[in-house]
Structure 1
Amino acid sequence: MDRIDDSNSTRWSLIERLKNWEDNTNWQKFFETYWRLIYRTGIRSGLTDAEAQEVVQETVIAVAKKMRDFKADPAFGSFKGWMLQITRRRIADQLRKRVPEEKPVGRLPQTHTGTDPVEQIPQPAHQQWESLWNEEWRQNLLDAALDAIKEKVSPTQYKIFYLHVVKKMPAGQVSKALKVSIGQVYLAKHRVSATLKKEVRRLEKESGK
């Protein structure tokens, strides 16, 4: 994917709009864009479905409370890194809740290595936590962009693109399944790919990527 021009004045637009708590439209947009990122990160960090859903809710609430203090300026750090820290704390909160209630407050049990279990957030496939977040961040942007372009291309072109590019179905099979020519398959791939790239760039700019 092409490198984003960090000088673009609109790159922090969504973040700045979120500082208005009454802007329901943009908060809904934020939720729709990022809930899967938070949820999947929770699941891959060892949480149950219910715990991950709670992390989504608590993270969004925490972002709302702290948003006015966030400086939309690269010099103060990225929005992605800021959200990473908030999400990680909420995941740690869920792990803390697993500690038996009879344990003394403030005295969480130690593992055999002497490390507080709350600090030992599972690292799937031995990945570093930040690497996991970066991977899910990229996938989340792609998923959000795919949802958004449904309104920007024809249903037929989207079906062709989804089957051929996302599901990796051979062009010949797509042609037969949807009763379109091979030429239409390749044309849809080209046009929808271009639209998808633009949408991913837009989302990256809005999130200060």
Structure 2
Amino acid sequence: MSKPAPEPDIPIPEDVKKDKGLWEKTRKSLIERLNNWEDQKTWNEFYQTYWRLIFSVGTKAGLTREEAFDVVQETIIAIARQVQKGQYDPRAGSFKAWLLQMTRWRILDVFRARKRQPSLADQGNADTEDTSGQVIDRLSQDKDNLLENIWDREWRDNITAAALERVKAKVSPRQFQIFDCYVMKGWGVKKTSEALGINAAQVYLAKHRVGALVKKEVQGLENTML
């Protein structure tokens, strides 16, 4: 029997270090649940690309951080199962809309569970039950733009961040540093040149090369799963 491939060494994002335990628990549990599937590497990459989007939308929809991490895992597992069964058809609609729908269902599952099993602190609190019911009603209605508005705001930021991470791994550290200073930080040509000890031509070259790669990655992520 062949041994499973070792887990890739993935650094914990700075903005979730305070939730290090939850982040690691979610990723490890997800990998274990996907352990018998052939393309585990692809699903790990999928997690790295979209976990932040699903997590952020979940918290903004009213979930706790722990609940949002659970939604990340359950959403990705549900997507993986549909893909494995051949139920995902990119011709039926955009990946963005499909991922939103899958995320919506998992968020609704959490609110329904809350309503069925309120915490000890909330038991007997009619306001808590009413609030959960109202959220379920709103999120269940496709015509309600509550979740769509949150999703649209988070989608672009997430896709851009994911594209930048991919490009960062493809270009030299020096080129990405120039691009980061000039484009991301908005330093301008003169400040970037002086700070990094380069000329204006090198600044423009890095902007063009790295910028083109970022644009290509963004377009790819907007239209396909990976």
Distance in 2 (CA, whole Å) between partners of 1:140 and 1:29 is 14
Higher helix content, 1 or 2: 2
Relative contact order, higher structure (CA 8 A, sep 6+): 1
**Structure 2 residues without counterparts, runs of 5 or longer:** 1-33, 140-144
Shift of 1:136: 2.0
Length-normalised TM-score, structure 2: 0.67
Q: What does 1:60-209 align with in structure 2 at a 5 Å threshold?
A: 60-67=76-83, 68-74=85-91, 76-99=92-115, 100-101=118-119, 109-110=129-130, 116-120=134-138, 128-207=146-225
Change (3 A) 1:139 1:117: closer
Shift of 1:193: 0.6
Which deviations, in whole Å up to 9, do the C-alpha atoms of 1:62-97 show, x marking residues without a partner?
2123332524242x2332222211211222233344
Aligned to 1:10: none
Shift of 1:116: 3.3
RMSD between aligned residues: 3.0
Distance in 2 (CA, whole Å) between partners of 1:71 and 1:48 is 29
Change (3 A) 1:156 1:43: same
Shift >6 Å, 4+ stretches = none
Does the Cα contact within 8 Å between 2:189 and 2:200 map onto a contact in 1? yes
Matching residue's letter, 2:224? E
Does the Cα contact within 8 Å between 2:193 and 2:200 map onto a contact in 1? yes
**Structure 1 residues without counterparts, runs of 5 or longer:** 1-17, 122-126
Length-normalised TM-score, structure 1: 0.72
Does the Cα contact within 8 Å between 2:164 and 2:214 map onto a contact in 1? yes
Change (3 A) 1:118 1:73: closer
Aligned length: 180
Distance in 2 (CA, whole Å) between partners of 1:52 and 1:71 is 24
Distance in 1 (CA, whole Å) between partners of 2:67 and 2:129 is 21
Change (3 A) 1:86 1:205: closer
Does the Cα contact within 8 Å between 2:190 and 2:200 map onto a contact in 1? yes
Distance in 2 (CA, whole Å) between partners of 1:50 and 1:168 is 36
Aligned to 1:39: 55
Q: Secondary structure at the match of 1:116?
A: helix
